Amino acid sequence: MPIFGLWVINKAGGLVYQRNFADGLAQLTSNEYLVLAGTLHGIHAITSRLSPIGSSSGAQVIEGETFKLTILLTATGTKFVLLASVTETSAELILQKVYEIYADFVMKNPFHTPEMPVRSEGFDQRITTLMGSFQS
Amino acid sequence: MAYAAVNHPRVSVLSTSSQSSLDHPSPTPSSTRFSLSSAPSINTLNSANRPTGVRPNIYERNLNKTRFAEVSLSSFAFLFSELVQYTQKRVNGINDLERRLNTLGYRVGTRVLELLFWRTESTSKAPKREIKLVPALMVIHTQVWKAIFSKPADAIEKSVENADEYMIIDNDPPIERYISVPRDMSQLSCSSFTAGIVEAVLDGLGFPARVTAHNTPTAQYPSRITILIKLEKSVLEREELLKT
C-alpha cells in the first residue's frame, strides 16, 4: 500500500510543498506540478459548489484505477493532498498527522513566510519519519 | 488607556470573594489598571480545572501559586516566533539579531530572578543568596531552568582554555523546538534569548558576564545548544579573595 506523494496547496492555489515517497508516479517538472496543483484547486472550488443542498466541503477523495487522491481542507483554506494506492486505508489519518506537523514545524517557525513555499528542515524530517512509519 | 475603559465583570467577583481577600493583601483591587484580563484565558488547562471559570486579574493572582501556571508550549512558540520575526525586520545581520534577542531575554531574566527568589527564599527558614560562582551557576542550571522550561539544563562545563568561561548545555531547548533556521543563517541561535535571561540572572546575582548562545549539534541531539558565559575579570578576582 505505497504512499506516492504529498502536496500542500495554499489558499490561493499555489503549490507550497511537494514531495514524492515512492516510485510509480510520472516524473514531472516543478512547473507541471504547479499547474496540476492549480487545476486541483479549481476542481475543488467547483466541487464545493456542486451540492444541491447548501454548502459542501468539496471533493475529499478522487479515486482512479491505480491511485487514490485524498484531500484535507483546513479551516484556513490550506489543502493537504495525499497520493496513494487505492488500497491505502489510512490516508485520512496520515493527512491529519501531516496537518499537525505542518502546524508545529511550519506555522511556528519564525523563518517561514505565510503562503510561500515551505523550506523547513524540521518539517521535512518529521514528514519523512511519518511516511516511514506508514510505508512499512 | 484603551483597556481602562473596558470595565470587566471579574473585579466585583474578586473583591467579594472571601478567599481572594486572603490571597491578595492589596487593599483595593483596582479596576482601572491596564488589565488584559477581559481577554479570554490562554491557559485552557487551568480554566478547565476551575468550575466557576472565573480567574482573578493576572496582577492580583498569588505569585506563589505555580500549579497549573504553565503556559502552553504552542502559545509560547507562536509568541516567540512573532518576536523573532519582529526583531528580524529591524536588524541588519545575524549578530545584530542575536544581540537584540539577548536584550529581550535580559528583560525577562531580571523578572525571572526576582520571581524565583520570591518563590523559593520567601518561604525558606534561612533565606540566602549565592555569592560563589559555581553554586550560582548550579542555581541557574537547575532552578532557573526548571522555572522557565520545567526541566533542568543538561550540563555545566568549564572551559579548558579560558578560566573565565563556563558553559551551560541544553540538549533540546524548548524555545527552539519548532524553529528551523534557514541554511544561509546557520550561525544564528535563537537561544540568544535564553542567553539574555542567563546574563540578567548572573548580573542580578552580582556576577557580571557576557553571555552568548551557540549551536553545538551532536548526532543524538541535533538541536543541542551551548550557553557560553564569559565572566568579567572582577568576578574572578573576587572568587580568588573568597577562597582564602
Residues 88 through 107 of chain A touching chain B, CB cutoff 8 Å = 104-105, 107
Across the interface, do B180 and A108 touch by the CB < 8 Å criterion? no
pLDDT of B51 strictly over 70: no
Q: What ranges do the domains of chain B cover?
A: 1-70, 92-243
Percent of chain B surpassing pLDDT 90: 57
Q: Structural domain tally of chain A?
A: 1
Asked if A109 has any chain B CB less than 8 Å from its own CB, the reply is: yes
Measured distance CA(B119)–CA(B121) in Å, rounded = 6
C-alpha cell at A50: 456542486
Determine the pLDDT at residue B63. Answer: 80
Asked if B85 has any chain A CB less than 8 Å from its own CB, the reply is: yes
Q: What are phi and psi of B75, to 5 degrees?
A: -60, -45
Residue to substitute from B90, B180, B188, B215, interface A, most A β-carbons within 10 A: B180
Of B85, B178, B190, the CB nearest to A104: B178
* CB < 8 Å to A123, chain B: 180
Cα end-to-end span (Å), chain A = 9
| Superfamily (CATH) of domain B92-243 | Trafficking protein particle complex subunit 3 (3.30.1380.20)
* CB < 8 Å to B80, chain A: 110
Which neighbouring-strand residues pair with B157?
B167
Q: What is the pLDDT of residues A50-103, one digit of tens each?
A: 888 888 888 999 999 988 999 999 999 999 999 999 988 899 999 999 999 999
Determine the pLDDT at residue A136. Answer: 62
Residue to substitute from A99, A104, A108, interface B, most B β-carbons within 10 A: A108
Asked if A113 has any chain B CB less than 8 Å from its own CB, the reply is: no
* Closest CA in chain B for residue A105: B178
Q: Are strands B155-158 and B165-170 parallel, antiparallel or unpaired?
A: antiparallel
Structural domain of A81: 3-135
Q: How far is B145 from chain A (nearest CA, A)?
A: 22
Question: Taking residues B223-231, what's their average pLDDT?
Answer: 94
Across the interface, do A109 and B180 touch by the CB < 8 Å criterion? yes
Determine the pLDDT at residue B20. Answer: 39
Across the interface, do A108 and B81 touch by the CB < 8 Å criterion? yes
Assign residue A22 the CATH number of its domain.
Answer: 3.30.450.70
* CB < 8 Å to B74, chain A: 104, 108
Q: How confident is the model at residue B19 (pLDDT cuts 50, 70, 90)?
A: very low
Q: What is the DSSP string of B87-146?
A: HHHT-SSHHHHHHHHHHHHHHHHHHHHHHHHHHHHSS-SS-----SHHHHHHHIIIIIHH
Percent of chain B surpassing pLDDT 70: 78
CA angle, residues B64, B68, B71, in degrees to nearest 5: 100
| Beta sheet of B209-215, edge-to-edge order | B155-158, B165-170, B225-231, B209-215
